[in-house]
């Protein structure tokens, strides 16, 4: 009987924390789906007018497209480099390897401090106010942790098959693409989702490197909407929900791999 009481208390604790976590998100969803001047907590009617409104705005579609370009571009640059780097760290010992701990320090540094000189830097390189510049910066800032995640993942993939393939005359790159990569798909998915979410969600780098309204990414766009729409919460939360959907969908589909990639591995 005592054990049962303890289980009930624990379930209540879980539900309470879940309520705390979900309330703001559900509130956002509710506001995005109810008519403008409806204030009750449980809406009497549901409307898609705010979603119609934001999707009828050309600038919103443009921001979304920019976000897709920047995010996919970042993944395309980060992933191959992270695979090579992670492979080198997991499979070889070499002089200078001790410095690889820096890959764990870099992501902790206040990158906002790096952004200040980067602005004049990229300006000189002709990459200021260019999506490509933003893609490069996102990639470089994501790279250390991506390399580290893949390194940890690769340490758990057995090397024997690779060795056999090398003996049989495969080149190193063939070994990676034909043998190692298929074995590390969960790790690759985890890293891809990680890079996707951090890049898609990021406002700061874009705010520093992009000033042309037409090139803005979605988080920048939403912040600009706060300025122009004021307290039109229906539209603002609808835009927020659209920005929230891709990370949430990816995360819910692959959460086991994502959590293992980010937390299981980082703790090793």
Residue 142 contacts other proteins per CB under 8 A: no
Residue 87 contacts other proteins per CB under 8 A: yes
Is the CB of residue 239 less than 8 Å from the CB of residue 92?
no
Helix, strand, coil percent values for the chain (each to nearest 5): 80, 0, 20
142-to-71, 81, 103, 218, 253 alpha-carbon distances in Å: 12, 11, 10, 19, 22
Smallest separation, CB 152 to other proteins (Å): 13
Q: With respect to other proteins, which residue has the nearer C-beta, 18 or 61?
A: 18
Task: Kindly tell me which residue out of 47, 62, 129, 201 binds other proteins, with binding defined by CB under 8 A.
Answer: 201
Q: With respect to other proteins, which residue has the nearer C-beta, 39 or 58?
A: 39
Residue 109 contacts other proteins per CB under 8 A: yes
The residue count for binding other proteins (CB under 8 A) is: 92
Residue 20 contacts other proteins per CB under 8 A: yes
- 29 by Cβ neighbours in 10 Å (0-12 / 13-18 / 19+) ranks as middle
Smallest separation, CB 189 to other proteins (Å): 15
Q: With respect to other proteins, which residue has the nearer C-beta, 1 or 108?
A: 108
Smallest separation, CB 214 to other proteins (Å): 18
Smallest separation, CB 124 to other proteins (Å): 11
- 201 by Cβ neighbours in 10 Å (0-12 / 13-18 / 19+) ranks as middle
Residue 42 contacts other proteins per CB under 8 A: no
From CA 21, how far away is CA 220, in angstroms rounded? 25
In a 3-state reduction of DSSP, which class is residue 266? coil
């Amino acid at each position: 009987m005592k054990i049962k009481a303890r289980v009930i208390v624990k379930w209540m604790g879980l539900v309470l924390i879940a309520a705390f976590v979900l309330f703001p998100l559900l509130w956002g969803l509710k506001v995005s789906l109810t008519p403008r001047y409806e204030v009750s907590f449980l809406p009497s009617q549901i409307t898609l007018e705010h979603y119609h409104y934001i999707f009828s705005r050309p600038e919103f579609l443009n921001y979304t497209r920019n976000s897709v370009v920047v995010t996919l571009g970042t993944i395309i640059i980060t992933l191959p480099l992270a695979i090579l780097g992670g492979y080198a760290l997991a499979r070889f010992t070499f002089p200078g390897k001790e410095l690889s701990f820096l890959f764990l320090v870099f992501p902790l540094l206040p990158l906002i401090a790096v952004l200040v000189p980067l602005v004049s830097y990229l300006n000189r390189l002709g990459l200021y106010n260019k999506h490509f510049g933003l893609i490069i910066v996102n990639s470089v800032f994501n790279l250390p942790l991506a390399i580290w995640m893949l390194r940890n993942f690769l340490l758990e993939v057995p090397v024997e098959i690779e060795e056999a393939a090398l003996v049989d005359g495969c080149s190193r790159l063939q070994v990676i693409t034909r043998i190692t990569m298929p074995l590390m798909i969960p790790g690759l998915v985890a890293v891809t989702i990680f890079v996707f979410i951090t890049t898609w969600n990021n406002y700061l780098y874009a705010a520093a490197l992009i000033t042309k309204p037409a090139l803005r990414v979605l988080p920048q766009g939403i912040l600009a909407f706060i300025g122009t729409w004021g307290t039109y919460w229906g539209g603002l939360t609808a835009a927020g929900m659209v920005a929230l959907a891709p990370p949430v969908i990816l995360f819910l589909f692959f959460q086991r791999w994502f959590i293992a990639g980010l937390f299981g591995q980082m703790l090793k």
